[in-house]
Amino acid sequence: MTLTGDLLIGAAQVPATAGTMKALNPATGEYLEPEFAFGGVAEVDRALRLADEAFDSYSHTGLAERAAFLDLVADKLEAVKDELAARTSLETGLPAAQFEGETLRTAANFRKFATVVRQGRFLQAAVDPAQPSRQPAPRLDHRLQKVALGPVVIFGASNFPISYSVAGGDTASALAAGCPVVLKAHNAHPGSSEIQGRAIQQAVAEAGLHEGVFSLIRGAGNEIGEALVDHPLVRAVTFTGSEGGGMALYRRAQQRPDPIPVFTEMTSVNPTFVLPAALAARGAEIGAGLAQRAQYNVGQACLKPAVLLAVDGPGFAELRDAARAEVEKAAARTMLTPGIHDAYTGNVRRMQDSGAIRIGAGQAPIHAWDGQSLLYEVTGEQLLSQPALREEVFGPSVLLVRLTGLEQLQEAARVFRGQLSATVHAEVSDHAVAVQLLPILERRTGRIVFNAFSIPQEATSASVHTGPFPATSDSRFTSVGMSAIERFLRPVTYQNFPDELLPEPLREANPLHLWRLVDGELTRD
């Protein structure tokens, strides 16, 4: 595929109206061809008008038809796997092999959502038949299903340029719900975004859908994002990135004349608690394992286990030494963008200014935007008194917290803000301590991991990627996993309807053979 750098608005390739940019190879400092178009308010308006036009037909596609479209997107992504991996590698400085895997997982996610659509359980169809002779008053027939919200704006993330970007889980789940998507591409990987966008654009055309089902917009500065959030036709927004950016967009959406939901996934340090018997039995193994996971994607992962907490005692020295050894052997690697590199440097400085002591460092940086692996240590008292030590440092650093006892461990667990995940390492003899700790963690996180690491991330029916603020702006919903579709749906009751006017999933004969709640009983009859 020859990259043109155009915006993809519906079926059209739209040249620049507001300047251009080139992608930067952060490993070499070289700019890559071609020029990529920036659009403005007019392109935002065009994309959202098309999305709105597409909504009625797309949201009413049959389940089989919509599922077939999602499978087709998966086919298209797999067909460009090598090209996509190579270009993404150039734009991120990360190995192409990583992106071959990411492409396949991203395609697989579309197929999983195709299955979700075919099964139709996401509709949550419910039938409460009429009770004409009910006393003291008869009950009318009530039937409920979930319907699509409307056009959705998705901000592609920088750090997983495929699985959290143009063809990522937000796009797959919104399309599965029946919502057209206007995608705001992240400027860190414009070529990768175009390849993914064209794959989806082709699938829309081949499936015979309205062209407005998918558009890809790119712009300079905050104006384009603001215009997308402000547009009167958008019905929901998703975002993955910084707390500052996410909250600016969230607040903006609440100030619209008609406020709309903004599902942001922002920041998390994913604290790991090592309980005493586990520390004594496996301190070195846990220290090395965690330090190794923290290097994944050069630490630019929302699930990076950034803070490791243990009570000083048997196994603590082994934990620290093993973590240090793992960090020291790590090469400095290119970070995704100069801005993310500079933010890493600044956040490490903030950690030091807050009293953290550097106890380990990886190999020195060679290139300008290399991120050096770092290990810091603080006392429990410092963690409790310095909120800055509990904030995300986006990059390959780990903070080890030396606690004085189990009381301080519980106190430390209580001071963290909302998290995407928290991890507990425990032996059976630690279970009494775990029983005290788990309710504290449950209040603060969307996922509790036991004797394992939170990376890699799974996208399944039982997995979520959410947590109380500031991990996300709405802990009731997830951005990863099959229930991510719920963000883009709302319930509608059809009361006292003639059968032929009911949506197919709610008709008396259950022609789609769906699982439905009929008079309170789950049945396919």
225 scored as a contact of ligand NAP (CB under 6 A) = yes
Give the residue among 296, 43, 287, 371 at the shortest CA–CA distance from 185: 43
Cα distance from N-terminal residue to C-terminal residue, the chain: 49
455 scored as a contact of ligand NAP (CB under 6 A) = no
226 scored as a contact of ligand NAP (CB under 6 A) = yes
Q: Taking the CB of residue 521, how many other CB atoms lie within 10 A of it?
A: 8
Give catalytic residues, as residue numbers. 265, 302
488 scored as a contact of ligand NAP (CB under 6 A) = no
Judged by CB under 6 A, the number of residues near ligand NAP is: 25
Give the residue among 210, 219, 186, 213 at the shortest CA–CA distance from 200: 213
Three-class SS state of 271: coil
248 scored as a contact of ligand NAP (CB under 6 A) = yes
Which of 245, 313, 355, 365 binds ligand NAP (CB under 6 A)? It is: 245
446 scored as a contact of ligand NAP (CB under 6 A) = no
Q: Find the shortest distance in angstroms from Cβ 147 to ligand NAP.
A: 28
Q: Kindly give the pairing relationship between strand 181-184 and strand 152-155.
A: parallel
Q: Find the shortest distance in angstroms from Cβ 346 to ligand NAP.
A: 9
Q: Find the shortest distance in angstroms from Cβ 354 to ligand NAP.
A: 17
187 scored as a contact of ligand NAP (CB under 6 A) = yes
Which of 87, 112, 146, 184 binds ligand NAP (CB under 6 A)? It is: 184
- The pair of structure tokens assigned to 18 is 């507001």
Give the amino acid at 145.
Q
267 scored as a contact of ligand NAP (CB under 6 A) = yes
Residue 418 vs 505, nearer CB to ligand NAP:
418
Please tell me the number of Cα atoms within 13 Å of 478 on its side-chain side: 21
- What is the DSSP code string of 472-507? BS-TTS-SSSGGGGGGGEEEEEEES--GGGS-GGGS
369 scored as a contact of ligand NAP (CB under 6 A) = no
262 scored as a contact of ligand NAP (CB under 6 A) = no
242 scored as a contact of ligand NAP (CB under 6 A) = yes
Residue appearing with tokens 């178009």? 37
Give the residue among 458, 459, 467, 483 at the shortest CA–CA distance from 177: 483
279 scored as a contact of ligand NAP (CB under 6 A) = no
Q: Find the shortest distance in angstroms from Cβ 337 to ligand NAP.
A: 7
397 scored as a contact of ligand NAP (CB under 6 A) = no
Q: How far is CA 27 from CA 103, 165, 295, in A?
A: 21, 21, 17
Give the residue among 391, 341, 333, 339 at the shortest CA–CA distance from 362: 333
Residue 318 vs 392, nearer CB to ligand NAP:
392
Structural element, H or E, at residue 361: strand 357-361
- The pair of structure tokens assigned to 2 is 């020859």
Q: Which range of residues in 7-15, 139-147, 260-268, 366-374 is near ligand NAP by CB under 6 A?
A: 260-268
Length of the chain: 525
Residue appearing with tokens 């959406």? 253
238 scored as a contact of ligand NAP (CB under 6 A) = no
Q: Find the shortest distance in angstroms from Cβ 185 to ligand NAP.
A: 8
391 scored as a contact of ligand NAP (CB under 6 A) = no
Q: Find the binding residues for ligand NAP in span 293-312 (CB under 6 A).
A: 302
159 scored as a contact of ligand NAP (CB under 6 A) = yes
What is the contact mask toward ligand NAP in residues 192 to 221, using x (rule: CB under 6 A)? -----------------------------x
Which of 340, 348, 413, 489 binds ligand NAP (CB under 6 A)? It is: 340
Residue 164 vs 376, nearer CB to ligand NAP:
164
Q: Are 494 and 144 in contact (CB under 8 A)?
A: yes
Bridge partners (DSSP) of residue 37 are 20
Q: Find the shortest distance in angstroms from Cβ 375 to ligand NAP.
A: 19
Distance CA 377, CA 320 (A): 9
φ, ψ at 476 (rounded to 5°): -80, -10
- Residues in touch with ligand NAP (CB under 6 A): 155, 157-159, 184, 186-187, 221-222, 225-226, 240-242, 245, 248-249, 266-268, 302, 340, 343, 392, 394
